[in-house]
Amino acid sequence: MIYLDNAATTFPKPQSVRRAAANSVMTMANPGRSGHRPAMAAGEMIYRCRVKASEFFGAGSVENVIFTPGCTYSANMVIKGLLKSGDHAVVSDMEHNAVMRPMHTMSEKGVAYTIARTGETDDETLASFRDALRSNTRLVICTHVSNVWGQRLPVERIAALCRQYGIPVMTDAAQSAGVFPINAEENGIDFICAPAHKGLYGTMGTGILIARHPELLKTITEGGTGSGSLSLSQPDFPPDKFESGTPNVPGIAALSAGLDFVKQTGVERIHDHEVKLVTYLYDRLSKMSSITLYTPRPNAMRNGGLLSFNVGNLSSEETAAYLFEKGIAVRAGLHCSPLAHRRYGTEKRGAVRISTSYFNTMNEMESAARAISMIAR
């Protein structure tokens, strides 16, 4: 099988990641609860992962690294932990339902929000965000890279704009973490939400929240933390304030090894490789008359390693099913991002998404191009 659904989760995982997850299951116990060796080993591993993640994302301090069950959970923590009735928020028109559904829930609780339209240029996108700001705007959310169209949004410039007004900024880095550099301190981003299992090559069901201003967040879950157990009140210091219950030790062990893999390989190298792959495919597809490509040719500054398209009058699901018959795994449909599809008029039909990882090759792109051209004919 040629796996081209890496935006859903990267597959395969590096051997070091598989080993780290297996090793944690065989040697580690519940951290922070007991003083015996397997518990201590887990606690030390988690601390090391926190240090690596803090450096990787520019968290400013290890306490600002919060482990979560996924990017969705991280986004919920920020949206529900920060906003309250009477507040206003701004979101981009490329947001995933990981952002839109909690925003919708908050809108039923008196939070208003405005959708800022992405433009053809970063200047236009920035202008949309500027126009959307109000005196009661308490949060601005902008995905870093669209999970449908692969384009990068100017989060750093949006953060600089919001800093002038003292408005916190959250970015959904689900498709960029490990593929584009992102640094909370340097870029002035207050909250970065990221999954461990995509570009960081960890395992599913693990995520991270980088909270440069954890004091702005109320908790959305409380429980045992192994600290301050006599008190019924949740600890008020991070990360304990936000990490109740037994942590996902194998997931964090895998993330730790995934961060090493990305660091050793180099974010720039991974990005260049993936963009080369999708650019090659784009050029091949753009010569086929019955293929609809919705976005401009990928560009190293503006794109991650994914590309969406449709073939003739086929539904995106039909094309994906044909490709799977030919041994190529891709994703069709709406990719949990109806707004992003509405932006390009594909909300009824969806689109076929090809998404790459560092492990894909040019030969695989050629096989995909040939298979698509057979379907197109």
Torsion angle, alpha carbons of 213, 40, 264, 262, to 10: -50
Q: Which residues in the 106-165 window bind ligand PLP by CB under 6 A? A: 143, 147
Compare residues 128 and 147 and give the one whose CB is closer to ligand PLP: 147
Positive or negative: CA dihedral 51, 55, 56, 60 = positive
Shortest distance, position 35 Cβ to ligand PLP, whole Å: 33
Q: Do the Cβ atoms of 297 and 279 come closer than 8 Å? A: yes
**First-last CA distance in the chain:** 23
Which residue stretch of 67-75, 76-84, 266-274, 303-311 sits at the interface with ligand PLP (rule: CB under 6 A)? 67-75
Shortest distance, position 23 Cβ to ligand PLP, whole Å: 23
- Residues in the interface with ligand PLP (CB under 6 A) total 14
Residues 6+ apart with CB under 8 A from 63: 214, 237, 238, 239
Shortest distance, position 335 Cβ to ligand PLP, whole Å: 7
Q: Per rule CB under 6 A, is residue 207 in the interface with ligand PLP?
A: yes
Chain centroid offset of residue 10 CA: 12
Shortest distance, position 3 Cβ to ligand PLP, whole Å: 15
Amino acid at 273: H
**H runs (alpha helix) in 5-119:** 15-27, 37-57, 71-82, 97-107
Q: Which residues in the 159-188 window bind ligand PLP by CB under 6 A? A: 172, 174-175
Compare residues 94 and 111 and give the one whose CB is closer to ligand PLP: 94
Q: Per rule CB under 6 A, is residue 195 in the interface with ligand PLP?
A: yes
Compare residues 50 and 96 and give the one whose CB is closer to ligand PLP: 96
* Residues in touch with ligand PLP (CB under 6 A): 7-8, 70-72, 96, 98, 143, 147, 172, 174-175, 195, 207
